[in-house]
């Protein structure tokens, strides 16, 4: 196909336009984060106010919120990815009664919105004394990620070469050894994608920690940010610095491993 210089130029104009539209609001919050906290500080001269981040970390308690986020995310990722690998293995390479119905149950969990079950879940967890605990915040998110993770890992195991599995079986390897020593090492890219997506969803989740920890004992980073905004109408610089801190871990991972994020979110959405 012949491509004129004009079409090429048009492409750059379109791309730059959309890139600026995306980066604009991000630029606003980043520049506010490095900006002066008040007019009196501003008068001292033009400088990057890195101290905003330190202040947000300590005074804004973002350090504490981020620590909770790390704890919750680690629990969710470990539980959800382990369970998903095991369940995806069963659905992907084994034949058994009820597999169709059970798999449909997992697919249901991908589509059902959190709002459908969060209310009764809160009251049942309250009766069990699990609200305001890290488990109350983490386990419902693990359940949601298992729905997607099982679907995702099943797709990987389906694509894994049956001849390798057959050969290993003839060598006398049990099903767990086949999984652990052959399929998991080969499937590292698929598993890494799942780890990253689960981490991102957990880190960014808002409704579940909001509902499950009403007293604010377990306040994850996005909640801390929303709370900070509600508490202080002044202090835009600290709020912006907090927002940058909350977004940073996922954005950094995204910059280095963007292929995993993009293919994961796009392929994960394409259901057969």
Please identify which residue in 56, 77, 79, 134 interacts with other proteins, judged by CB under 8 A: 79
* Residue whose CB is less far from other proteins, 19 or 164: 19
176: exposed, middle or buried (C-beta count within 10 Å: 0-12, 13-18, 19+)? exposed
**167 near other proteins (CB under 8 A):** no
Of 39-47, 55-63, 187-195, 258-266, which segment contacts other proteins by CB under 8 A?
A: 258-266
Residues 105-134 that bind other proteins (CB under 8 A): 105-106, 109, 111-124
Angle between helical axes of 221-231 and 62-93 (0-180°, round to 10): 140
* Residue whose CB is less far from other proteins, 48 or 86: 86
Number of residues in the chain = 272
Question: Any residues with CB less than 8 A from the CB of 157 and at least 6 apart, and which?
Answer: 88, 89, 91, 92, 93, 183, 187
CB of 49 closer than 8 Å to CB of 37? yes
Please identify which residue in 41, 143, 182, 186 interacts with other proteins, judged by CB under 8 A: 143
**86 near other proteins (CB under 8 A):** yes
Residue 10, helix vs strand vs coil: helix
Residues 34-73 that bind other proteins (CB under 8 A): none
Please identify which residue in 159, 164, 176, 216 interacts with other proteins, judged by CB under 8 A: 176
Element (H, E) at 186: helix 184-186
Question: Any residues with CB less than 8 A from the CB of 93 and at least 6 apart, and which?
Answer: 157, 158, 160, 162, 165
**250 near other proteins (CB under 8 A):** yes
CB of 43 to other proteins, least distance (A): 19
**99 near other proteins (CB under 8 A):** yes
Residues 183-212 that bind other proteins (CB under 8 A): 200, 203-204, 206-207, 210-211
**15 near other proteins (CB under 8 A):** yes
Scan for tokens 């900070």, then name that residue: 228
* Residue whose CB is less far from other proteins, 21 or 43: 21
CB of 51 to other proteins, least distance (A): 20
Please identify which residue in 36, 60, 140, 187 interacts with other proteins, judged by CB under 8 A: 140
Site for other proteins (CB under 8 A): how many residues?
97
Alpha helices by DSSP H, 38-93: 39-42, 51-58, 62-93
Of 41-49, 54-62, 173-181, 187-195, which segment contacts other proteins by CB under 8 A?
A: 173-181
DSSP structure string for 200-227: HHHHH--HHHHHH-TTSSS--HHHHHHH
Please measure the distance between the N-terminal and C-terminal CA atoms of the chain and give it in whole angstroms.
Answer: 33
**21 near other proteins (CB under 8 A):** yes
**174 near other proteins (CB under 8 A):** yes
């Amino acid at each position: 196909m012949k491509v004129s210089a004009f079409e090429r130029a048009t492409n750059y104009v379109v791309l730059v336009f959309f890139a600026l539209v995306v980066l604009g609001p991000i630029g606003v919050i980043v520049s506010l984060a490095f900006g002066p906290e008040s007019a009196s500080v501003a008068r001292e001269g033009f400088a990057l106010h890195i101290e905003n981040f330190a202040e947000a970390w300590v005074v804004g308690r973002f350090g504490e919120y981020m620590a909770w986020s790390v704890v919750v995310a680690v629990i969710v990722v470990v539980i959800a990815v382990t369970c998903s690998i095991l369940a995806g293995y069963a659905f992907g390479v084994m034949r058994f009664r009820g597999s169709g119905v059970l798999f449909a149950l997992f697919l249901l969990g991908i589509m059902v919105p959190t709002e459908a079950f969060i209310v009764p879940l809160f009251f049942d967890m309250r009766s069990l004394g699990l609200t305001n605990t890290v488990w109350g915040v983490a386990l419902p998110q693990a359940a949601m990620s298992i729905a997607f993770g099982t679907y995702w890992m099943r797709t990987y195991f389906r694509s894994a070469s049956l001849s390798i599995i057959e050969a290993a079986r003839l060598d006398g390897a049990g099903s767990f050894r086949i999984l652990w020593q052959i399929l998991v090492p080969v499937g590292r890219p698929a598993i890494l994608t799942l780890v990253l997506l689960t981490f991102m969803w957990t880190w960014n989740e808002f409704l579940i920690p909001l509902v499950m920890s009403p007293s604010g004992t377990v306040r994850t980073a996005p909640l801390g940010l929303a709370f900070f905004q509600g508490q202080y109408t002044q202090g835009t610089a600290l709020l912006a610095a907090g927002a940058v801190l909350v977004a940073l871990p996922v954005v950094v991972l995204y910059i280095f491993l963007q292929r995993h994020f993009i293919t994961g979110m796009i392929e994960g959405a394409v259901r057969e």
